[in-house]
A and B are shown apart, each in its own frame.
Chain A
Amino acid sequence: MPTLLYKGKLIFKFIPVPESFKPLYRICSRGIFTLVIVLLLGHTTAFADPDGKALFMSNCASCHNPLKDATGPALQNIDKSFPDKEWGYNWVHNSAKVIASGDKTANDIFNKFNKTAMTAFPQLSNADIDAILKYVDEYKAPAAAAPAAGAATGEQPAESNGWLYTIITLSLLVLVVILWRANQGLKRAANDVEGVANEKEIPLYRSKFVIALVSIILFIMAGYWLVNGAVNEGRQQNYQPLQPIFYSHKVHAGINQINCLYCHAGAEKSRQAMIPSTNICMNCHKQINSYSGEGEHALKTAEGKTINGTEQIQMLYKYAGWDPVKKDYNRDAAGNILATPIQWVKIHNLPDHVYFNHSQHVKVGQIQCQRCHGDIQEMDEVYQFAPLSMGWCINCHRQTEVQFTNNKYYDIFEKYHDELKSGKRTGVTEAEMGGTECQKCHY
């Protein structure tokens, strides 16, 4: 009898089915066997019909959508526009042949879609094509995504209570003054009754103590305001200009998970992070011609004005020289695309005497974009997150340990590598490699 022992303990023992259970056991096993056979048969019969969805996905989906025009026309109910069924089969098997035969319907479609030839699919049987057409005709758009959880709970934005506290504090102060005056008055009245001489009352504005106190406070506050104001003059923290197109980083980098480097490809390669040209926008916006995320995330300016996302995409098309009806670029006689650059407003500006290089920070230092730019993926309108002051730069150079090991750029710092190996130090900051030298950034 098979048994299994582990460290002397019995963990498995085969127990034979008792005689009395045998009929039941037989019925069960037979039942399962029949079930498997039925399931298998059912499965194979399902396979006998071509799977329209699978065929559509592997052959058609890269150019066609059931509901929207893409590289080719929307396919739902397209079979109703065929002259006859045979025409449809011929078209799919070899559309070029149908067009060459001078067929009018074929040539109309061909011209409407910018003479993009459809790949021939001789391997699809007529039954396959019928299955695909059946699938697209029955296709329904997936239900719109449920609004984000945050929106559903109906959270109220926290209002600032600062003014309320100010009023309460002021009225309490007034109360203190009134009570103090009343107390003084009562004391005087009591003194009068008891015949004790009252001190001569000096009005507050002539009291030396009060004058000295007020002038010292005023002096300190004025100094504070003056120094702070002078230091911040020329700094642009929180600068959030209106841009020519309401481009939301939250929609692109946040909701749609597009990597920062997708558009700002230069951040790894050069001094400039690269402001994407319109052709990079059009990589996706050839297909995405409307903003459908209102339920999920309604677009609003910082002032609370509602923005129509679809209109903004139409504005992009004007800049990019894209004709959304023709689904092609407008071109001049020489074939150049008639695009004009979008004049974005520069937000982060370092003075001309400061050298800053994106690739040095992003590629060599492996610094995340958010470190200096804040939670860009949460911003509808970008604002300057960091003060970009020299103190801010230097602080980071002093405190941040760089990606030192496995980084060819820092190979030459042998002493630090040795010290890291011997455990004498745990990390290397930028300042320790000369990152606070004046000439690093000012030359």
Chain B
Amino acid sequence: MIACLVLTVSLVSCDSGNIRRTPGHIYAPDMTYSRAYDAYTSNPNFADSMTSRLPVTGAVARGHQLPDHLKEGDTTAYKTFTTSMRFNADELNEGRRLFNIYCGICHGTNLDGQGPLYASGKFASMPANFKDAKYLHMPVGQMFAAAKYGKNMMGSYAAQLDAKQRWMVIAYIKQFQSKNGGDAFTLGEATAKPDSVKAPMMAKLEDKKTK
């Protein structure tokens, strides 16, 4: 009986409360952990030890936009900067979805600057209220630059939204604003223009495809 009690007590004391801080053993470590450098493994071949590298300057990924040559803080250039892209209803919906994920947390899903982080008093300064006269007529290029480089307390969203996604979000905002006293909405597909931004080579390829 005493032996039983001792066994029970020792078993109970060995119980660490089910917190598993170590990954445990594995049969074949070289099959489980990649021998090749994986996206987030430390890499001794580079001074900063990161395996994920930036693309070569000037490289354009397939299906992505050509570089826009905007410069951070160049306030005159971005006021006239715009896009030749036009968006259909699906893309505007996607813009709305992306806005709610990436922008809504500060600017609010009603676009009134009352996102959860500001409304709960955690932010010191108020995010832009897109219904406000100050933003109703803001040029799209200025919005694009803010999303790409950040502005005042807003950070850069270039890492989260690619150029096309940024334009979809801006198109959604502009469409919303046009219904709330802003300028007429011009980024819709009904007002389509030939795509002048597309590289001639790409345009040719797409022509071939349609033929």
Check: A2 CB closer than 8 A to any chain B CB. no
A107–B152 Cα gap in the complex (Å)? 19
Instruction: List CB contacts (< 8 Å) of B78-93 with chain A.
Output: none
Q: Is the CB of A349 within 8 A of B125?
A: no
A166–B22 Cα gap in the complex (Å)? 29
Q: Is the CB of A288 within 8 A of B122?
A: yes
Q: Is the CB of A163 within 8 A of B8?
A: yes
Total contacting residues, chain B, CB less than 8 A: 59
Instruction: List CB contacts (< 8 Å) of B97-154 with chain A.
Output: 100-102, 105-106, 113, 116-117, 120-129, 132-134, 150, 152-154
A349–B134 Cα gap in the complex (Å)? 49
Mask for B139-178, Cβ within 8 A of A = 1, else 0? 0000000000010111111011100000000000000000
Mask for A221-262, Cβ within 8 A of B = 1, else 0? 000000000000111101111100000000000001111011
Number of chain A interface residues as a range: 35 or more
Check: B19 CB closer than 8 A to any chain A CB. yes
A120–B121 Cα gap in the complex (Å)? 27
Check: A379 CB closer than 8 A to any chain B CB. no
Of B17, B35, B150, which is within 8 A of A352 by CB? B35
Check: B201 CB closer than 8 A to any chain A CB. no
Of B21, B27, B42, B129, which is within 8 A of A58 by CB? B129
A342–B129 Cα gap in the complex (Å)? 34
A335: min CB distance to chain B, Å: 10
Interface residue ranges, B against A (CB under 8 Å): 1, 4-5, 8, 12, 17-27, 30-36, 39-40, 42, 48, 50, 100-102, 105-106, 113, 116-117, 120-129, 132-134, 150, 152-157, 159-161
**3 tightest CB-CB pairs across the interface, nearest first?**
A61-B126, A283-B155, A70-B125
Interface residue ranges, A against B (CB under 8 Å): 57-59, 61-65, 67-71, 74, 116, 141-142, 145, 163, 166-167, 170, 174, 233-236, 238-242, 256-259, 261-262, 265, 271-272, 275, 277, 279-280, 282-284, 286-288, 292, 302-303, 341, 343, 346, 349, 351-353, 383
Knowing that A170-B5, A238-B18 touch, tell me 10 more A-B residue pairs with CB under 8 angstroms. Answer: A68-B124, A71-B153, A174-B1, A233-B25, A234-B26, A257-B105, A287-B123, A288-B117, A343-B42, A383-B20
